[in-house]
Amino acid sequence: MTVPAANKPWLLEFVLLAAIWGASFLFMRTGAREFGAFATAGLRVGIAAAFLVPLLLLRGEGGILRAHWKLTFAVGIVNSAVPFVGFTFALLTISTGLSSILNATVPLFGAVIAWAWHKDRPTGSRTVGLLIGFVGVALLAWDNASFKPEASGTASGWAVLACLGACLCYGLAASFTKRYLSGLPALVTSTGSQLGAAVFLAPLAWIYWPAHSVSLAAWAAVIALGVLCTGLAYILYFRMIERVGPARALSVTFAIPVFAVLYGVVLLDEKVTAWMLGCAVVIVVGTSLSTGLVRFSRKGRT
């Protein structure tokens, strides 16, 4: 088995992005408990847009965004608005650890979409990886998904499906970005996508805005979501897509659970079962193979 060498800047950005996005599950859960799913997601992208626009203008890249606003707005809806609502909704019912493990399926969806869209047909170990990864997802969902309403009023099965739907959106957006936005500065793509997501979610956030007062902790959580986990994170993410391609960039999602589970256990006193960890290992092995990050050599040496 061989692991392709990665240059140090890419590896550092990979780990940093995983740590930041691992924290996003903690912040989403904290914000959603008081704001609800739509308002939390709307605030997240709105704050991110407010953070990114001044940076874009200072860099003198406003004209580039005006020339490509339609495509970047479209990416924002698929890559931010819809999946953010999906994960925030799910975190009202399931743990941050479980949702982050489900998030690790993004490269699997990305590989299937790249196969269907770009005719990037996986062969050999990558095909085996897809099968292994989706088996891991099925096992995890089988153990955790129930369609009987729980204390939150929502069945965990719907929460699991919301996470998987969000992952499908991420995979679709990655191929779309590589196909139509290749060559754009990462800051332009990040800013345009968050503006598009903010416009899309603004009416829903207004309609579902909480009638009660919201704590400072919830406000701090959504601000951290907007600035750190969205504004800064997407600059890193779109730069990685440009440098190493969507499949490799998406592979960051199977490092995220390491941080998300750690944060959940330490800060939220969440429980992690042996079954969850076992399924996570199966999913990570599958995604590693399906993206080509790890592959078997033809001579059979490991």
Mean pLDDT across the stretch 215-238? 93
* 149: three-class secondary structure by DSSP: strand
CA distance 167 to 161: 10
Highest mean pLDDT among 3-12, 231-240, 243-252: 231-240
- Write out the two tokens for 86: 């999906």
User: pTM of the predicted model, to two decimals?
Assistant: 0.83
Q: Give the pLDDT band (50/70/90) at residue 6.
A: very low
CA distance 237 to 125: 26
User: 233-244 vs 8-35: helix axis angle to the nearest 10?
Assistant: 140
Q: To the nearest 10°, the Cα dihedral for 17, 23, 29, 35? A: -70
**Cβ(64)–Cβ(188) under 8 Å?**
yes
CA distance 266 to 260: 10
Query: Is the per-residue pLDDT at 7 higher than 50?
Result: no
For Cα atoms 277, 29, 22, give the angle at the middle one, nearest 5 degrees: 50
**Cβ(96)–Cβ(221) under 8 Å?**
no
Mean pLDDT across the stretch 84-109? 88
pLDDT of 298: 52
Query: Is the per-residue pLDDT at 296 higher than 60?
Result: no
Query: Is the per-residue pLDDT at 297 higher than 80?
Result: no
